[in-house]
Amino acid sequence: MISYILRRLAATVPVLFTVAVMVFLMLRLTPGDPAAIIAGDNATTQQILDIRTKLGLEEPILQQFFIWLGSILRGDLGESFFFRKTVFELISERIEPTLSLAFLTIVLAVVIAIPLGVLAAYRQGTWIDRVVMGFSVIGFSVPVFVIGYLLIYIFAIKLGWFPVQGYQRISGGVFPWFRSLVLPAFTLSVIYIALIARMTRTSVLEVLSEDYIRTARAKGQTEVKVLFQHALKNAAVPIVTVVGIGVALLIGGVVVTESVYSIPGLGRLTVDAVLARDFPVIQAIILAFSFVYVLINLIVDLSYTIFDPRIRY
Amino acid sequence: MTGPILEIRNLTVQLPKGADRKFAVENVSLTVNPGEIVCVVGESGSGKSVSSHAVMGLLPKGQLTVAGGEILLEGENVLKASANRLRDLRGTRMSMIFQEPMTALNPVVTCGEQIDEVLRIHTDLPATERKEKVIAVMESVRLPDPIKMYDAYPHQLSGGQRQRIMIAQALVLDPALLIADEPTTALDVTTQAQILKLVAEMQERRGTGVLFITHDFGVVAEIAHRVVVMQKGHVVETGTATEVLTNPQHPYTKMLINAVPTLTPPQREDRTGEVALETVKLCKVYGGGGFFQKKREVRAAADVEIRVRRGETLGIVGESGSGKSTVARCIARLIEPTSGGIVVGNMDIAKLPERQLRPHRKHCQIVFQDPYRSLNPRRSVGASIIEGPMNFGMSEADAVAKARDLMKLVGLSPDALDRYPHQFSGGQRQRICIARALAMEPEILIADEAVSALDVSVQAQVLDLLDDVRKKFDLAVLFITHDLRVAAQICDRIAVMQNGVVVEHGRTAEVFANPQHAYTRSLFEAAPGRNFQFARVA
């Protein structure tokens, strides 16, 4: 098991290296000069050239790459061209809102979707099933911004229960933090509720026709326990996979949501960095995201062993 | 106790609309007295499982509904019981064991916890006492090392051990009634013998009434006190085991008993056709392990040497895990043999690369065990039959004409080619599988447990069909089976396998009359009903 984890972690190295090469090349090959943006509209060619030299952009590309790679291997993510801070500082400032939002969204999605999916499976073909599945179709098809503005209009503007926009740091108290995240998290979670509920329904339906469900009933077990203790655990593997994919997509998707809700997280940072052609920041964020993807996949694979003892690594 | 434990009176269960008949069971009555084993015998569709599930209240909701009658468990009508009352009764007064120990246990919960669950549901015992009780019941069903096995998961146990767990789970609260739904059908003969012994022993020791569902008259002869014969939802005959088995009254019972193949093989002359297939020191090793894990090797077949002539049927007999299917699959090159030779005609095909293997695939065809799963459910049977010949260049018109001929040959209407597998019965599907195999004009036909999933009466017909096509096409037939009775009927010679090794082979009549190897003898001893002289009535 431990050797498996180590091997999987070692396997992230070539993945991250490939990502690093591609990100680096793409940034250098796309138009847009960070020096020109920093220098402003009225700068002379000489000023821009000076800035380029200072940033090291005048070196040959290969040399730039190895300098960057060398500093990353030493644990140094470099310095932002634009914000005049180290990339590490920037990311650590911005990571809390992003993780909070992703975490709350996925918790909300799981807590709502799994009981709904189980219920729909148990009552397959009845009106309950049809209502749940109907909602999940709507959840899939209504765009996030429509749900977002609708929720803001009802719960923030009309009822005033939640703030319209903005983010409260968790250090300022759990309740304000939670309150600031409820609407964005719920908005984001709608599509995942739809996805996870559907997957749960399908997976549980399949398990419900298994012989051991009949055995559990023959023992005199109650229906609730048959569903949640016997069926759900056996149905867990595909559900966990979908949740894992959900987390990965969420982290990639924060770019849009954080802009809509004015949340100062990694997504906003990415947008700002791209607009400013802030190469070190863009590179670091993309590397970090890819590492998280790989890590989530590993966690999902490992969680299989908890749900199904037949799976061993 | 004086009254019967279970009394079913005029039970009628309705089938959903559009089924082939109106009632799954109609006016079924039967009784189980304390300390009595009552066998309900019948083929698939006879309603024997429906009756037993009705007792437990486990009929699938919305599909099967009880339309009339009473089921009295120690005098209490369970059909009138509330859902809660029914749950209370299950596991305490009545319990059930099922056919497939592989699937009847929850794969993600330890065996001990699954037995413990019954106690958690129905008693208030503290954890330590529950554990003692679980270990005790595991001991009583003769599970080795119960303390260790408590924490084992079902997949770590053998089929027989799993069935013992099921029995332990059913008996832990000493129910008055045990319903056993084909509990030994999925097990090897030697394991079956042990489980039958265990059921009889538990029943005797605890005075439990047992309702034992089976299709196998060998099992009936082994265990039953009384027998209830069912056909198409009706009870056609009841009586004591001896009465029914030696002096059956109803024509259906007579037919069923006649269809049980005997353990005495007929004398057969030696086949002298050319050798169609020969293996030379055939080995198959399943290797596990990688860089970091220990290498686990399983020798599924070790130095297997068999020879089949054209026109001859060679039986490979053995229990699960003996390697008989591995040998068959190597010969068909569905899996790669590890070493050794497979000579077909005069070519060694053991190591041929896939491209050069194609002509061989035509020569060697397999019929698999489960006709429900070996036909693609989304293709018409015609499409399944013509696919092979068309892959080898036959025109569609020719292939269809051939398929029509083959359908006639296997006893089905050629017009049924457009239908889909689910529209056929199990026996018909197996005929289709045989037609599909024959469409390739093979020289070697491998039947891998081809009749094991079929009812006895259907089994007899399919065996006849296999023997007919062997004669007609001068086929070399490799017949893989776990069932000695079947092997006795159809095989010219048999090879007995155990743990990947052929321990004995020879002419069927000789092996049956005078088995040399200890394992072969233990197989014969375990065959259910071997000492019973079944009535042979015309």
pLDDT of residue B295: 56
Note the pLDDT tens digit of each residue in B478-536: 999 988 888 888 899 999 998 888 999 899 888 888 888 999 988 888 888 776 666 55
- Tokens matching residue B233: 């939802």
- Nearest chain B alpha carbon to A232: B108
Contact B376, B384 (CB under 8 A): yes
**ipTM above threshold 0.85:** no
Distance CA A138, CA A140 (A): 5
Q: Nearest C-alpha of chain B: how many angstroms from A274?
A: 44
Nearest to A310 among B96, B107, B118 (CB): B107
Chain-chain contact of B106 with A215 (C-beta, under 8 angstroms): yes
Mean pLDDT by 10 residues, chain A (313 residues): 82 84 81 74 80 78 83 78 81 86 90 93 89 90 84 87 81 84 87 92 90 89 89 89 86 74 84 82 86 86 84 76
Q: Which residue of B has its CA nearest to A2?
A: B292
Q: Are B369 and B429 in contact (CB under 8 A)?
A: no
Q: Is the pLDDT of residue B290 over 50?
A: no
- Of B58, B105, B153, nearest to A212 by CB-CB distance is B105
Which residues on chain B are in Cβ contact (under 8 Å) with A219? 90-91, 95, 117-118, 121, 169
Q: With H, G, I as helix, E, B as strand and everything else as coil, classify residue A235.
A: coil
Model pTM score: 0.78
Task: Tell me the pairing of strands B209-214 and B37-41.
Answer: parallel
Nearest chain B residue (CA) to A223: B87
Q: Do A310 and B91 touch (CB under 8 A)?
A: no
Task: Measure in Å the smallest separation between the Cα of B291 and chain A Cα atoms.
Answer: 10
Q: Using a CB-CB distance cutoff of 8 angstroms, which residues of chain B are in contact with residue A3?
A: 292
Q: Do B106 and A212 count as a contact with CB atoms less than 8 A apart?
A: yes
Contacts of A69-77 with C-beta under 8 Å, sequence gap 24+, read A69/A20, A72/A20, A72/A287, A77/A280, A77/A284
Instruction: Give the gap in angstroms from C-alpha B88 to the nearest C-alpha of chain A.
Output: 6
Whether A227 and A204 have beta carbons less than 8 Å apart is answered as yes
Chain A: give the shortest CA distance to residue B169, in Å.
8
Considering only the beta carbons, identify the residue of B90, B105, B109 that sits closest to A220. Answer: B90
Query: Domains along chain A?
Result: 97-307 (1.10.3720.10)
Q: What tokens does B399 get?
A: 């292939």
At B68, which helix (H) or strand (E)? Answer: strand B65-73
Q: In this complex, do A309 and B88 lie within 8 Å of one another by their Cβ atoms? A: no
Subunit contact A218:B90, Cβ cutoff 8 A: yes
B200 Cα distance to chain centroid:
21
State whether B104 and A214 contact (CB < 8 Å): yes
- The pLDDT tens digits of the residues spanning B166-224 come to 999 988 888 999 999 888 877 888 888 888 888 888 888 888 899 999 888 888 888 89
Does A233 contact B108 at a Cβ distance shorter than 8 Å?
Answer: yes
Residue B289, pLDDT > 60, answer no
Residue of A nearest to B89 (CA): A220
Q: Are A218 and B58 inside 8 Å of each other by CB?
A: yes
